[in-house]
Amino acid sequence: MNSRKKTILLIVDVILFGLFVFGDQFSKYCAVQELKNKEPFVIADGIFELHYLENNGAAFGLLQGQKPFFIFIAAVILAVIIYVILKTPYQRIFIKLNITLVLIASGAVGNLIDRIRYDYVVDFLYFSLINFPIFNVADIYVTVASAYLIFLLLFVYKETDLDFLTFRAKKFRDVR
């Protein structure tokens, strides 16, 4: 029964991943259609606006034009997330971890799709009140989920809860 539940959880992960990536890509599509080559759309004057930007870099415009590097990093992050999700036992305590990892993967893939298709990431959310860098929905996924992952690792899971992720050299010693 545990194997069946694990399979169901993986199917739910894939569906959530698809929905999150679709939400990100749809929001960017709408931004391109409604905001590109236009004045910013003010939601709350002096506080928040929709402001179209084609970002060739990472957060805060760092590492401009480093597409191969971003693709490599996204691939590594996705590989690690897939490994952890597949290794995670089906237990109620790990559902939060699963959803958090799916959100991070969704954000990474959402921005990766833009980088591959356009050589830039579509950003459009801007808090003018604090002059925060323009960002997008995928950035929200990654930021919020990463902060929550840190919270989970520091305050929810004990070291023994995550033993399923450790590499055990003993297994190889026993084989000899």
Find tokens 């809860």 and name the residue: 161
Burial of 66 per CB tally in 10 Å (0-12, 13-18, 19+):
middle
Amino acid at 52: Y
Sign of the four-CA dihedral 86, 151, 96, 113: negative
**Catalytic annotation present for 139:** yes
> What angle, 0 to 180 degrees and rounded to 10, lies between the N-to-C axes of helices 95-118 and 67-87?
160
Which of 24, 123, 161, 163 is an active site residue? 123
DSSP H helices in 36-168: 67-87, 95-118, 137-151
Among 114, 119, 139, 174, the one annotated catalytic: 139
**Distance between CA atoms of residues 108 and 38, nearest Å:** 27
DSSP conformation class of 133: P
Question: What's phi and psi for 50, nearest 5 deg?
Answer: -100, 115
Please give the positions annotated as active site: 123, 139
